[in-house]
Amino acid sequence: MSVQYPQGRATAGEKPRNEPEEVKLQNASKQIVQDAIRQAVRQVSQESRQREESTSDNRGTFQLGVGELTKKHEKK
């Protein structure tokens, strides 16, 4: 003979919880996951922007460097 619980309720070995507490826990879990996702998206966006800025800065410096070499070469 097996013990059966209504769907969504405690299983064997668990204490039954009242519904409002379970809903609060589920909502808190969802909020934690959403916050973590938002933070990860912000971090990836920030890192991408920094990479783009670094790349554009490097290109500008490189282009100026090439121009300066050309000007020095022309003077000789």
Question: pLDDT tens digits for 14-44?
Answer: 666 678 899 999 999 999 999 999 999 999 9
**DSSP assignment of 51-64, as one string?**
HHHHHHHHHHHHHH
Cα distance between residue 1 and residue 20, in whole Å: 31
Higher pLDDT, 68 or 42: 42
Residues 6+ apart with CB under 8 A from 12: 3, 5
Q: What is the pTM of this model?
A: 0.48
Give the three-class secondary structure for 43: helix
Cα distance between residue 8 and residue 17, in whole Å: 10
Instruction: Say what the pLDDT of residue 12 is.
Output: 58
Instruction: Say what the pLDDT of residue 17 is.
Output: 61
Measured in residues, the chain has a length of 76
